């Protein structure tokens, strides 16, 4: 589809190709996008309307919530609970599944979201975003429970994110490639600006928190040592490093110009299983990355094949250029055999 197409038209024309489409999915996406426009407005006016800083509360993971975490979560809940398109919702900011109140109709989809990824960056005006994932509610389930959300990432119907930066970008995949849109604030509509996004197989850019180096597994240390050695090392070329501490921003950069992002597990007690959340961050971003021609791995297996066993499960993440992700996997498998 050509550049300049509105998001609404894009989705409608895309789903016309599916004879079984009822329009519910289109309406669900439009509701999510409308809520994200409201979040974008709050983010852009943060200091002016006093929504920055700590909310003096903690989420289920024991992390201090920012005011915008709480506000963004509430915006999404209120926008979607009455819509009739979802059977239940799960958020990184809530301990349990959010059931649809009985006064509202229920839909056939389950919505999973991180309302404001990278919110610790709000006070320094660094790009942050909303990540979402849409699953089908299992057949015959009228009151979805946590178990119904524990589906492998490959089962996702749709995954997307909205990046709140110098521009507000929406990136989306329904399993037929990846497309990027930019919010035109004059008309209040997302416009297709990056059709058919693809990730180059080769890259010379990596993102990882180097301050954790002493805690990494040997395979990660080997990989990073090699790229840091540059032309003089076994890779034979120089690499640049980038680190934003916002997964939305890291993935967006990879989609725009290539690269690899690593948040591996390490020896620290709270990172032994990994740091990022499987349902709210790793699965939707892995779905997008794979649809753009990249790869997404725990370092040992494909992320989208992992069967979740709890709502707030954490997992190691290595995503981006296929060639680099596969190299990290080879190092892990080789060193696991040696140990």
| C-alpha span between 84 and 316 (Å, rounded) | 35
Are 198 and 293 contacting, i.e. CB atoms less than 8 angstroms apart?
yes
Is 18 labelled as part of a ligand binding site? no
Is 120 labelled as part of a ligand binding site? yes
Is 83 labelled as part of a ligand binding site? no
Q: Hey, which residues does 89 pair with through a beta bridge?
A: 98, 111
| C-alpha span between 8 and 30 (Å, rounded) | 7
- Alpha helices by DSSP H, the chain: 7-15, 24-44, 67-80, 146-149, 218-229, 247-257, 283-291, 322-338
Is 116 labelled as part of a ligand binding site? yes
Nearest to 319 by CA among 300, 293, 296, 301: 296
Tokens of 66: 């920012």
Is 169 labelled as part of a ligand binding site? no
CB-side exposure of 37: number of CA atoms within 13 Å? Answer: 18
CB-side exposure of 122: number of CA atoms within 13 Å? Answer: 27
Cα distances (Å, whole numbers) of residue 53 to 56, 57, 199, 218: 9, 11, 35, 38
| C-alpha span between 43 and 273 (Å, rounded) | 32
Tokens of 300: 């040992």
Which residue ranges are tagged as binding site for Mg(2+)? 92, 114, 116-117, 281
Which residue ranges are tagged as binding site for substrate? 117-120, 209
Which residue ranges are tagged as binding site? 92, 114, 116-120, 209, 281
């Amino acid at each position: 589809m050509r550049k300049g197409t509105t998001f609404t038209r894009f989705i409608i024309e895309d789903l016309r190709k599916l004879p079984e489409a009822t329009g519910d999915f289109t309406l669900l996406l439009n509701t999510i996008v409308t809520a994200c426009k409201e979040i974008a407005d709050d983010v852009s006016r943060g200091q002016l309307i006093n929504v920055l800083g700590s909310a003096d509360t903690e989420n289920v993971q024991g992390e201090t919530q920012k005011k915008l975490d709480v506000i963004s979560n509430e915006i999404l809940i209120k926008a979607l609970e009455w819509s009739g398109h979802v059977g239940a919702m799960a958020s990184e900011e809530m301990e349990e599944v959010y059931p649809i109140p009985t006064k509202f109709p229920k839909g056939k989809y389950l919505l999973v979201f991180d309302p404001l990824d990278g919110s610790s960056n709000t006070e320094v005006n660094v790009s942050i975003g909303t990540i979402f994932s849409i699953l089908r509610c299992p057949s015959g389930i009228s009151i979805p429970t946590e178990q119904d959300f524990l589906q492998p990432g490959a089962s996702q119907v749709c995954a997307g994110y909205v990046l709140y930066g110098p521009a507000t970008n929406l990136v989306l995949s329904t399993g037929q490639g990846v497309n990027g849109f930019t919010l035109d604030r004059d008309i209040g509509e997302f416009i297709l600006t990056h059709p058919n996004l693809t990730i180059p197989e080769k890259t010379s850019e990596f993102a990882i928190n180097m301050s954790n180096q002493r805690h990494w597994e040997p395979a990660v240390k080997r990989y990073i040592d090699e790229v840091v050695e540059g032309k003089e090392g076994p890779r034979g070329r120089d690499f640049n490093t980038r680190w934003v501490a916002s997964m939305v921003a890291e993935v967006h950069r990879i989609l725009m110009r290539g690269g690899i992002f690593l948040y591996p597990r390490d020896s620290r007690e709270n990172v032994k299983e990994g740091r990022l959340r499987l349902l709210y961050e790793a699965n939707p971003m892995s779905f997008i990355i794979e649809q753009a021609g990249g790869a997404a791995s725990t370092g040992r297996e494909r992320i989208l094949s992992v069967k979740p066993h709890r709502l707030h499960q954490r997992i190691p993440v290595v995503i981006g250029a296929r060639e680099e992700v596969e190299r990290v996997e080879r190092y892990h498998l080789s060193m696991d055999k040696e140990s």
